[in-house]
Structure formats: structure tokens, C-alpha cells
Amino acid sequence: MSEPGLGDRSAPEPDVSTRQLLVLRLGEARFGLWIEEVLEVVRTPPVSRLPLPTEEVPGVTSVRGDVVPVLDLGVRLLGSPAARPGRLVLVRHEESGSVVGLLVDAAEALLQLREGEVMPPPPAAEAKLPAELMAGVVMGDDAVVTVLQLARAAAPPQPAPDRR
């Protein structure tokens, strides 16, 4: 069950000077992933909790028979969980090659952006999110959208350093 229009890869390729950005909502904040990084957006299936889960990785789910780890992007980016049931954005983590489900409140829109519309993040944004998670910012219809570095945003959580 894909969101209407989001899983359709039969559409003609956009002009090389433009790219599409999928706008995701977490609370009042808007984040974006380049559409070519997104495999699919689905309704969130039931999530099976893992033994000793972390807040960021509440569990795994099954998508068409494949077991997919679920990463709560709300916890990763804002420190508070995404709405349940929300939406699950399936992406392929480029470093590991595995599919990861990113839990978000909603997938809201596709923005068609021309070259040069993505600006560097302002210092105020960098104070709130680690700079390595942000590729830039763009003005949406009614909000600033933070463009995410997928490789960093979808990376498995790093264990806390051993302080013995």
C-alpha cells in the first residue's frame, strides 16, 4: 500500500536541473529526503519490539515478507517519538545496503526544486541538529524544510562510549 503518487516510478524523469524532495513532518518540523533515496512510503505496519530496544530503534516490522528495522526519526532528530501509527518511509542505507524503515508523523508533499534552491543551513538550525545530519534547507510552501543527509540520518545508533 503506497501513498498515492509516492511509489510510482513510471513517471518521466525530471529535467536534470531539477530534483524532487519528499517532505516529511515530525511534530511542527519539516524534513526532506531526495525522492531517489526513498524506496516507498507505507502505512506503518505493526512493529515487533526487540529485546532491550532503544528509543531510536523500537523494533522491526515485516514489509512484504522482509524483516525491516524501524528507526524512529522523531527520536533521532527531535528527541521525541514520531506519532503512531504515522508513516514508514523505506530507504536503503547506502553504507550497509540494508533497507531501513524511518518512522515519521506524515509524508506531506513532493517539492520540485531547481538547482540552487537548497541553501546551507543557518547557524540556528545547526544549533538544534548536528550539522552532519543536514544537507541544507529549502523554503517550502509554508515552512522551512531541512534536507537530511540520508546516510547519517538513517545510520544505526552508535553505542554510548564505555566510561569504565
- Residues 119, 138: contact at Cβ < 8 Å? yes
Domains of the chain: 18-153 (2.40.50.180)
Q: Which residue has the cell 517519538?
A: 81
Residue 36 confidence (pLDDT)? 92
* Residue 5 pLDDT grade (very low, low, confident, very high; cuts 50, 70, 90): very low
Chain CA centroid to CA 5, Å = 18
Instruction: Indicate the pTM of the whole model.
Output: 0.80
What is the biggest distance separating any 2 CA atoms in the chain, rounded to whole angstroms?
56
Residue 74 confidence (pLDDT)? 92
Average pLDDT, the chain: 83
